[in-house]
Structure 1
Amino acid sequence: MARKFFVGGNFKMNGTKESIKSIVKGLNEAQLDSNVEVVIAPPALFLQLASSELKKDNVAVSAQNVYDKPNGAYTGEISVAQLKDSDIHWTILGHSERRTLLGETDEVVASKTKFAIDGGVSVIWCCGESLEEREGGNTISVIERQLAALAAKVSGDDWKKIVIAYEPIWAIGTGKVATVQQAQEVHEAIRKWLRANVSEAVADETRILYGGSVNGKNCKDLAKEKDIDGFLVGGASLKPEFIDIVNSNL
């Protein structure tokens, strides 16, 4: 079946009011492929600013994280209810930087994912392996372990609210990129796992993004692969080439 191409821009801990306005202005004025769903994720401080500045129907705003508890005494966290109240309907969860730098386990990421979905917020759910795991031949087993933790928490229509982003940790912010073949092999393995462990429909319908140092030069070749349904972009989402990545499926 045809899966709608999806491009996410993760600004990480970057940006000022002026730079966020400039990026959004560029998106508003660009000729974007209308058949692509675009989501940008500025720092939490700028979520409402970005949302208020956006004029494109096919561009939405995402949080970079959310907590798996209701409003309460959780200093520094953002709740699902607060995102909904701010008209933010997406969040990124399980990014390698959250997993490796902040110690979020597979189970914590899965719990957050379920809580977000139950509260009406869709999730860009990230998975990926380290260089050591890649060189040890453990890429697929690591991804399957992360998927299994997710599948233990979500079920049924929950999957309609999830976009999977495969992000090889060794290729994030390093300038290294998995070859087209390496990326396709993992995407195919993810879809195969979904088919065997969730359902045929979920395997066919779930969009799987590639997210390791994607840029304006490599995006078109990656976009041609049958199991790569878009990108989760880091540093390049702060630059004009983000438009080229959005339009890479044309």
Structure 2
Amino acid sequence: MSTGGDSGGAQVKSAVRTVELLEYFADRPGMHTLASVQQAVGYPKSSLYMLLRTLVELGWVETDATGTRYGIGVRALLVGAAYLDGDEVVAAARPTLDRLSDDTTETIHLARLDGTSVVYLATRQSQHHLRPFTRVGRRLPAHSTALGKALLATHTDEQVRRMLPERLTAVTEHTVTDRERLIEELALVREQGYAVDREENTLGLRCFGIAIPYRTPARDAVSCSVPVARLAPGHEQLIKDALFDARDRLTLATRRL
């Protein structure tokens, strides 16, 4: 293997392209043609094909029966599972998530801020027939979720301005798309201690989120999601009280992390 400067640069470029390809497939479930992948990532077709074939051989990318369509491979799942298995916060949070699920009977999530998105690390499904479904590993915009807003609120207004563009993506018709309006809402989140997603990510679903303050700014948050049709005033207050209790428990559980 050459150790020249050009070779070193090429190796770094190859690594970046590999990661970008895996992230492309992770964000777009299903199988994709070489042409569609090339159009999205913009790599030269010949080098893209060789990189894909290498990833297929290593198990990071899979092909369909024709060998012409590509998707994320099983090794990505193994690495993701290893990340969760080795994460101290996920391990410390399990008893609290179980209790929060029992206390509210609703869907519970633990998520982490990653750039301007939140990534779901753990979930507890609702005990009701009518319930939302969110898989572990799912990535959603922070500004449209209670989890994300709870975490953004632990940053200063100027930090939020540096993190987010002026115009934010609308996930539903209720999503706050103006950054300054979002910043005004974050002030309320800091005051009341929790954030609310009012059908901003999923129509018919309201979520309440609260940050875990073992770091500043906070990195992780928990939430409770409930269909609007089931959200009576008494149930809403029960959820808020349960979230504050969960925050206190998680603060103790993560105090040494």
TM-score, normalised to structure 2, is 0.29
Structure of larger gyration radius: 2
TM-score, normalised to structure 1, is 0.29
Pick the structure with more helix per residue: 2
